[in-house]
Amino acid sequence: MIALKLGVTANDVKNVIIWGNHSSTQYPDVNHAKVKLQGKEVGVYEALKDDSWLKGEFVTTVQQRGAAVIKARKLSSAMSAAKAICDHVRDIWFGTPEGEFVSMGVISDGNSYGVPDDLLYSFPVVIKNKTWKFVEGLPINDFSREKMDVTAKELTEEKETAFEFLSSA
């Protein structure tokens, strides 16, 4: 969506973050994303100059993408999930390029972003020697904090529900 809006290829956009759950609460964050425009790397916010779109339509479209794929194809979104798995395997195997990170659902233990431990939560990570590490120290604004907390709350509730089922089985 960012690439289309700016008239560049998807390869020209990097470091977009997906925080949280794989659900309609996931939060696509471009606050740290970069785009290559006319040979120069600039921040996505600076390039787009459209705060309303980035906090509105962009977020909701990404959050509803899975449902939209199913509706459009009248089939499962399994191919989209399969593509994501392939991308993750590629990233684990080859690592992330210097200065770039990817979003990956990993255990939240030890993160510096205030997300509770013991959740499988999507974070920005770098990968080297087939080992991932959290990207540390990214500033989080109030809008992002709110979105990140909503998706963490949903994951916490899902975990509690799962444990209730397990303990009653």
C-alpha torsion sign, points 125, 6, 148, 153: negative
Catalytic residue among 22, 65, 88, 159: 22
Answer for the pair 27, 19: CB distance below 8 angstroms, yes or no.
Answer: yes
Q: Where are the domains of the chain?
A: 1-168
The 10s digit of each residue's pLDDT in 93-120 is 999 999 999 999 999 999 999 999 999 9
The whole-number pLDDT of residue 75 equals 67
CB distance 151 to 26 below 8 Å = yes
| Ranges of the chain with pLDDT below 70 | 68-70, 72-77, 169
SS (H, E, C) 102-137: EEEEEECCCCCCCCCCCCEEEEEEEEECCEEEECCC
32 is catalytic: no
Question: Of 135, 132, 136, which is closest to residue 93 (Cα–Cα)?
Answer: 132
- Which option is the CATH number for 1-168: 3.90.110.10, 3.30.1660.40, 3.40.50.10540, 2.60.40.1170? 3.90.110.10
For residues 164 and 50, give the distance between their C-alpha atoms in angstroms, rounded to a whole number: 44
